[in-house]
């Protein structure tokens, strides 16, 4: 088997070979700018610490005050929608416990919506640069 994009990470198990990367964006409720400083740092830590447990790898991440960009490599047997739901559920619960002012400011931390796009129409490098450059915008 010849791989067209050798730089893409390919994973294998006894019955599957896959390479599934997704650009994911989600926002706090009412798109409030609450993801700053300590909250943003803690959110990043929490997303990174759940990678193995939830079945994904973070390839790129940027937290803006009113939205989050993730570039995730997801096991297709787990599914990107399930991964994003777990990330949002876990981080909402934990951040609202650690930062009680979030409970006063928002009825829930995240909106129910999200943006998910496969990485393929553009190169992986392009998406990684786009996410890394978000802070410079």
Does residue 115 belong to any structural domain of this protein? yes
Q: Which two tokens stand for residue 18?
A: 């896959």
Q: Cα–Cα distance between 67 and 65 in angstroms, integer? A: 6
- The structural domain count of the chain equals 1
Does residue 6 belong to any structural domain of this protein? no
Does residue 1 belong to any structural domain of this protein? no
To the query of whether residue 130 is one of the catalytic residues in this protein, the response is yes
Q: Cα–Cα distance between 2 and 20 in angstroms, integer? A: 17
Query: Distance between the two ends of the chain, CA-based, in angstroms?
Result: 41
Mean pLDDT in each 10-residue stretch from start to end of the chain (137 residues)?
A: 58 90 97 97 98 96 98 95 98 97 94 92 76 79
**β-strand partners of 12:** 17
Q: Which one of the listed residues 18, 90, 99, 130 is annotated catalytic?
A: 130
Does residue 7 belong to any structural domain of this protein? no
Provide the residue range defining the domain that includes 83. 12-136
Does residue 74 belong to any structural domain of this protein? yes
Measuring CA to CA, which residue among 86, 109, 130 is closest to residue 29?
A: 109
pLDDT on residue 3: 43
Which CATH number goes with the domain that contains 89? 3.30.70.1290
DSSP assignment of 32-94 equals -----HHHHHHHHHHHHHTHHHHTEEEEEEEEETTEEEEEEEE-TTT-HHHHHHHHHHHHHHH
pLDDT on residue 122: 64
């Amino acid at each position: 088997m010849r791989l067209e994009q050798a730089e893409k990470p390919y994973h294998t198990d006894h019955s599957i070979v896959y390479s599934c990367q997704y650009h994911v964006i989600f926002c706090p409720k009412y798109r409030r700018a609450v993801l700053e400083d300590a909250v943003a740092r803690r959110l990043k830590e929490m997303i990174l610490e759940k990678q193995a447990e939830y079945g994904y790898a973070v390839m790129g991440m940027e937290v803006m005050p009113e939205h989050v960009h993730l570039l995730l490599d997801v096991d297709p047997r787990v599914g990107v929608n399930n991964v994003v739901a777990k990330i949002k559920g876990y981080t909402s619960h934990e951040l609202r416990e650690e930062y009680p002012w979030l409970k006063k400011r928002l009825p829930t931390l995240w909106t129910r919506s999200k943006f998910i796009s496969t990485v393929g129409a553009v190169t992986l490098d392009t998406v990684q640069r786009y996410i890394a450059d978000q802070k410079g915008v």
